[in-house]
Amino acid sequence: MGLLEFWKKIEPDKKKSPYLHTTYDAFFTFMYSPDSVTKGGVHMRDGMDLKRTMVHVVIALQLCYLFGTYNIGHQHFVAAGQYLGFLEGFHLKLAHGLIKLLPIFIVANVVGLGIEFIFAAKKGHAVEEGYLVSGALIPLIMPPDIPLWILAVSVAFAVILGKEAFGGTGMNIWNIALLSRVFIFFAYPSTISGDQVWVSGFENLAAGTTADYSWWHTGLCNTLFGWLDISQFQAASTAVVDGYSGATPLAVATVGGAEALSNTFTWNQLFWGTIPGSIGETSKPFIVIGALMLIGLGIASWRVMVGMILGCAVMGMIFNAWDANAFMSVPWHQHYFIGSFLFAMAFMATDPVTASSTNRGKWIYGFLIGVIGLLIRVFNPGFPEGWMLAILFMNTFAPLIDYYVLEGNMKKRMAHA
């Protein structure tokens, strides 16, 4: 128990230095579960708390992190026509992925948590865990080359205006992670849409553009790889090959429909996720594993997920029947494998704070996200993906759905009175 005594000894004074105390308290409660006991009400409490709930979502995301990191590197070298096999140049791809991902992760969390800490100290309550998950989600939905200052501004926007302005964890109306992404989407659209942004490490994807390596590549990693006598990053010979576009499956399908899609990508690629896209959303099996874990542990709502799958299927079938352009004719079941449907379903729509909070409402909420998301995906010419906007849209209407579910419940009760 020496450690615990040490912690207790260094506790700063709450009144004299509130910011320091808040920080201390956040780290202390992270290390040790508090010794508080029940008072009034129940005498025994469930072992589950918000920290444990949140950390399980973060754990469910880890496979996406692993794959996403590696895929950043893989896409980079595919654009250059090098190491085309998935496992070829393993260390280079991993190193490139880490060099891209780590700064994004660090900036997203330092900015977000920093704001949380400041607000917690100002309001005099403990640092709440909500941002644990937001901070893990935000890097996964960003393109790998996102400028860090834009990321920082978007995170600050989302946390301050989306969350703290409403009162903190549990009070927000819109999903924080998506809010930060939508901020970039509208404020800096060129950094998050188009064909150029999904492959990292090049100024642009015109043929012959050489790789844009930093000191981390050529200085640190190359020295390390030199010692180990393995292949190194070579900026001069790493250039975009002829005819490479960097287009995502969605972009391809928007233009050319199912045929173009199957000409450009194999189903293996689409399934396993060795395709350009946002960092964490490409690998379908790893997302599904995460989703099943969340459902199995009872953390995320299966109602929302199933509702969303159904909604997307229904809308997809309507489009198939309508069949007015190439994208509409993409078979409805293929929509699950292109774009970020699964990631949005598993981790974004199921956010308990912003989703409907009644079970019946969750079905409606999920279903409508599926419908509206596909609608936007197919009809929006500027940006061929719909889930972010659909979820934010339905976040706005979730309280309304709940309102009508509750009205129904009240009416049933009052009818007998």
Partner 1 sequence: MLYALIGIGAALFFWVVTSLSDSLLKIEAEKAGIDTEKKDIGIWPSLTGMFSPKAPEFAEGKFFKSSKGFDIKLKGKAENFSSPSITRYAIKPGNFRGNSPIPKMLVAVGDEVQAGDAIYFDKKRPDVKYTSPVSGEVVEIKRGAKRAITDIIILADKEVRFKKYSVPNIEECNRQDIVDAMIGSGTWVMLNQRPFDIVPEISDVPANIFISTFDTAPLAPDQNLFVEGRGDDFQKGLDVLNKLTAGKVFLGLSGNAQPSAVFTGAKGVEKNYFGGKHPIGNVGVQIHHTAPIRKEKVWTVGVQEVLTIGRFFNEGVVDMSRMVAVAGSRVATPSYVKTYVGASIGDLLKENVSGDNNRIISGDVLSGSTSDHDQFLNFRDDQITVIEEGNYNELFGWLLPLKPRPSLSKTFPSFLMPEFEFEGDTNTHGEKRAFVVSGQYEAVLPMDIYPQHLMKAILSNDFERMEGLGINELSEEDIAICEFVCTSKQPLQSILRKGLDTMREQS
Distance of alpha carbon 113 from alpha carbon 231, whole angstroms = 38
Token pair 């100290």 in the structure block, residue: 121
Closer by beta carbon to partner 1, 186 or else 416: 416
Residues comprising the chain, all counted: 417
Q: How far is CA 146 from CA 72, 188, 198, 279, in A?
A: 12, 10, 9, 11
Q: What's the closest the beta carbon of residue 47 comes to partner 1, in angstroms?
A: 4
Distance of alpha carbon 314 from alpha carbon 172, whole angstroms = 30
Q: What's the closest the beta carbon of residue 350 comes to partner 1, in angstroms?
A: 10
Closer by beta carbon to partner 1, 147 or else 298: 298
| N-term to C-term CA, the chain | 60
Q: What's the closest the beta carbon of residue 135 comes to partner 1, in angstroms?
A: 16
Q: What's the closest the beta carbon of residue 109 comes to partner 1, in angstroms?
A: 18
Smallest Cα–Cα separation from 374: which of 317, 312, 328? 312
Closer by beta carbon to partner 1, 4 or else 228: 4
Q: What's the closest the beta carbon of residue 179 comes to partner 1, in angstroms?
A: 17
Q: What's the closest the beta carbon of residue 272 comes to partner 1, in angstroms?
A: 28
Distance of alpha carbon 104 from alpha carbon 151, whole angstroms = 8
Distance of alpha carbon 23 from alpha carbon 127, whole angstroms = 8
For residue 117, give the 3-state DSSP assignment.
helix
Closer by beta carbon to partner 1, 236 or else 417: 417
Distance of alpha carbon 88 from alpha carbon 93, whole angstroms = 9
Q: What's the closest the beta carbon of residue 45 comes to partner 1, in angstroms?
A: 5
List CB contacts of 351: < 8 A, sequence separation 6 or more: 133, 175
Q: What's the closest the beta carbon of residue 138 comes to partner 1, in angstroms?
A: 18
Structure tokens at 250: 């969605």
Structure tokens at 252: 């391809």
> Which residues make beta-bridge pairs with 253?
none
Smallest Cα–Cα separation from 99: which of 213, 9, 1, 205? 213
Closer by beta carbon to partner 1, 40 or else 85: 40
Closer by beta carbon to partner 1, 128 or else 145: 128
CA quadruple 276, 279, 280, 283: dihedral, nearest 10: 20
Distance of alpha carbon 165 from alpha carbon 286, whole angstroms = 35
Q: What's the closest the beta carbon of residue 317 comes to partner 1, in angstroms?
A: 11
Distance of alpha carbon 217 from alpha carbon 103, whole angstroms = 14
257: left (phi > 0), else alpha (psi -120 to 50), else beta? left
Closer by beta carbon to partner 1, 55 or else 288: 55
Closer by beta carbon to partner 1, 59 or else 255: 59
Report the interface residues with partner 1, using CB under 8 A: 3-4, 29, 31-38, 40-53, 55-56, 126, 128-130, 167-171, 296-299, 301, 352-353, 355-359, 362, 402, 406, 409-414, 416-417
